Amino acid sequence: MKDMSSGGGRKQGAPSPCAACKLLRRRCAQDCVFAPYFPADEPQKFANVHKVFGASNVNKMLQELPVHQRGDAVSSMVYEANARVRDPVYGCVGAISSLQQQIDVLQAQLALAQAEVVHLRVRQTASAVSGHGLSPHSPSNSGSPSSNKFAVSHQPKPNIFEVDNMAVDQANYGETCGHANLISGFY
C-alpha cells in the first residue's frame, strides 16, 4: 500500500498520475514536468506527442524553457503531433499549404470584385455625365457654336473601356504583388 503522506505521490488525495506518467508506466512525482500540461483525463494528447517527439525529447524541451513559455510550447507540440498523426507525410505543412491555397483563391475573388466595383463606378459616372448634358460635345456647354466645334475637334471623347481595362490591370497588378509578397514571406 502506498503512503501518500511521505510525498511519494503527486498530490495528496489525487492518486492518479498524469497522462505522461501513466503512459510511461512510472510514478508521477510531485514536481513532474508533464503533469501541468498533460492531465490524466487527456491521455491521447500525450500519446500523440510521445509518438511524434518522444518523451525524452519533450522532457528536455520543457526543462530548458522558462515556466511561462512551457504552456505555449506544449500547445505547439500537441498541434504539430496531431497534424502529423492525421497526415503522416506532410503534417503541419499540409495544413499550411491548404490554407495558403484558400487565401490565394479568396484574394483572386476579392481582386475581381474590386475591379467590378471600379467598372460599375466608371460606368455610373459616365452615364451620369452623358445623362445630364455635361459631355464635352454638348451644345449647352458654351454659348457659341464655334467654341463647341473647337471642343469637339481638340478634345477627344474619353474611351470608357480603356479606363475599365486600366482598373482591371491595376487589380491584377495588386493581386500579383500581393501573391509575390505572400510567397516571399512564406519561405
pLDDT on residue 131: 72
Is the same domain home to 64 and 140?
no
CB atoms closer than 10 angstroms to residue 83:
19
54: left (phi over 0), alpha (psi -120 to 50) or beta: left
- Burial classification of residue 113, based on how many CB atoms lie within 10 Å of its CB (0-12 exposed, 13-18 middle, 19 or more buried): exposed
pLDDT on residue 134: 54
| Residue 1 domain-assigned (yes or no) | no
**Cα(38)–Cα(36) distance, integer angstroms:** 6
pLDDT on residue 104: 98
Is the same domain home to 175 and 100?
yes
| Residue 2 domain-assigned (yes or no) | no
**Residue corresponding to grid cell 499550411:** 96
Residue 88 φ/ψ, nearest 5 degrees: -60, -25
Annotate 33-74 with three-state secondary structure.
Answer: CCCCCCCCCCHHHHHHHHHHHCHHHHHHHHHHCCHHHHHHHH
**Cα(82)–Cα(42) distance, integer angstroms:** 13
pLDDT on residue 174: 46
Record the cell numbers describing residue 171, joined without a space. Answer: 487589380
Q: Which domain holds residue 98?
A: 92-186
DSSP state of 11: B
| Residue 26 domain-assigned (yes or no) | yes
pLDDT on residue 128: 85
| Residue 32 domain-assigned (yes or no) | yes
| pLDDT tens, per residue, the chain with 187 residues | 344 444 334 445 556 899 999 999 999 999 999 999 999 999 999 999 999 999 999 999 999 999 999 999 999 999 999 999 999 999 999 999 999 999 999 999 999 999 999 999 999 998 888 876 555 454 444 444 444 444 444 445 544 444 444 444 444 444 444 444 444 444 4
Is the same domain home to 44 and 112?
no
Record the cell numbers describing residue 148, joined without a space. Answer: 463647341
Is the same domain home to 42 and 79?
yes
- What's the number of domains the chain is made of? 2
| Residue 175 domain-assigned (yes or no) | yes
Nearest CA-CA partner of 22 in 8, 2, 39, 4? 39
| Helical H segments across the chain, by residue range | 19-24, 43-53, 55-64, 67-86, 92-131, 145-154, 160-186
